[in-house]
Amino acid sequence: MPSTNPVIAMQQIGKTYPLADGVYQALQQIDLTIERNEYVAIIGPSGSGKSTLLNLLGCLDQPSHGVYRIGDERVDQLDANALAQVRNRHIGFIFQSFQLLPRLTVLQNVLQPLLYRVMPQREREARAMHLLSRVGLADKAQHRPNQLSGGQRQRVAIARALVTEPALLLGDEPTGNLDSKTTAQVMELFDELHQQGQTIVLVTHEQEIAEHCQRVVRLVDGQIYSDIRQHGSNQA
Give the per-residue pLDDT at 233. 53
What pLDDT, on a 0 to 100 scale, did the predictor assign at position 5?
Answer: 75
pLDDT of residue 119: 86
Give the predicted TM-score (pTM) of the model. Answer: 0.90
Render pLDDT for 40-97 as a digit per residue (tens, 0 to 9): 999 999 899 999 999 999 999 999 999 999 999 999 989 999 999 999 899 999 988 8
Give every residue of the chain whose pLDDT is below 50, as ranges: 1-3, 235-236
Whole-angstrom distance, CA of residue 197 vs CA of residue 199: 7
Say which CATH class 6-229 falls into.
Answer: alpha beta
Please give the angle made by the CA atoms of 162, 164 and 169, to the nearest 5 degrees: 45
Contacts of 34 (CB under 8 A, 6+ apart): 6, 7, 8, 9, 40, 168, 199, 201
- The three-class DSSP label of residue 211 is coil
